Structure 1
Amino acid sequence: MKNYFLEKDIKVFYMQADSFPDGVLAAHQKLHSLIPYSDKRKYFGISNPDKTGKIIYKAAAEELAEHEGEKLGLKTFVLKSGNYISIVIKDYQKQITAIRKAFDVLLSDPAIDPQGSCVEWYLNDTDVQCMVRLVK
C-alpha cells in the first residue's frame, strides 16, 4: 500500500453499470463506444455503496473539453484532489479478483474518507491503480 497525492480535481463523465459486478464490462464498453480512445484521457472505475449497501459502479473517462460529458448526454462526477492510499495491480486482467482484494485492504484503513469512493485508475492496458481517498 502506498500513499498517492492527486494534485488537482479530475472531472469525469460516466456510464453507470446496470449491476455490480456483472454489469461492469458492459458499462465500460458502452462508454468507449461513445468516445474515441485517447492516450491523453484518463479512464476510471468509480464505486460507492448506496444506502442499502448495494454497490453503484461508474465506468468513467476524464473530460478533456468543457461540457464534453453533458454533450454526450452523460452525468459528470469530480474526483477530488488530495491524499489517497493506493495499490497498483500489474496485469489486472489476468487476476481480476485482485481488484476486490486490493479494495478490501484499502477500505480497512481507519483514515479513509467516509464520503470517498473506491477508484480504479486504468494506467494503461495492463495496469490499474486502486485508490481510496483519505480524510486528510
Structure 2
Amino acid sequence: MEEFILESNIKLFYIQAISFPEGVLEAHQKLHNMVPFSRDRKYFGISRPENGIIVYKAATEETFANEAEKYNCQTLLLKKGKYISIIVEHFRENPQKIKDAFDQLIKHYDLAPEGYCVEWYNNVEDTVNCFIRLRKQ
C-alpha cells in the first residue's frame, strides 16, 4: 500500500450498476456506448456500501461543462486529498485481484467514513489503481 495525493477534484458522471458484482461489466459497457473509449479521458469504478448493499458506479470525468446533462447522467465529485492505494496489474486475467486489493485497503485504520472504493483505469493497458480516501488530510 502507498499513499498518494489527488491534486484536484474530479467531477464524474456515471452509470450505476443494477447489482454488484454481477452488473459491473454491463454498467461499464453502457458508459462506453455513450462515451467511446479515449486515451484522453479518465475512467473509474466507484463503490461503497449504502443501506447494507454495495452500490457500484461506472464513471468518467466530465471533460466539458454540462457534459453529464448531455448524457442525462448524475454526477459525483472525487475529492482531492490523500488516499491509500494499491496498483493492480493484469486485472483482466484475474479480476479477483481488484477485490483482493480492496480487501487489504479497507483494513487501513484511517479511512474517511464517507469515502469510496475507487478504481482508476488510467489508460495503462490492464492496470488499475485501487484507492480509498483517508480521513486525515
TM-score over 0.5 for the pair:
yes
Q: Hey, which bits of structure 1, 4+ residues long, moved more than 4 A?
A: none
Tell me the residue number matched to 1:17.
17
Q: TM-score, normalised by structure 2?
A: 0.96
Q: State the Cα distance separating 1:39 from its structure 2 match.
A: 1.2
Tell me the residue number matched to 2:26.
26
Tell me the residue number matched to 1:93.
92
Q: TM-score, normalised by structure 1?
A: 0.97
Instruction: Give the conservation status (yes or no) of the 8 Å contact 1:70–1:76.
Output: no
Q: CA RMSD in A?
A: 0.7
- Percent pairwise identity: 50
Q: State the Cα distance separating 1:134 from its structure 2 match.
A: 0.2
Structure 1 CA distance, aligned partners of 2:107 and 2:69? 35
Tell me the residue number matched to 2:118.
119
Is there any run of 5+ residues in structure 1 with no aligned partner, and where?
A: none
Is there any run of 5+ residues in structure 2 with no aligned partner, and where?
A: none
Structure 2 CA distance, aligned partners of 1:90 and 1:109? 21
Structure 2 CA distance, aligned partners of 1:95 and 1:89? 10
Q: State the Cα distance separating 1:36 from its structure 2 match.
A: 2.2
Matched position secondary structure for 1:93: coil
Structure 2 CA distance, aligned partners of 1:67 and 1:20? 28
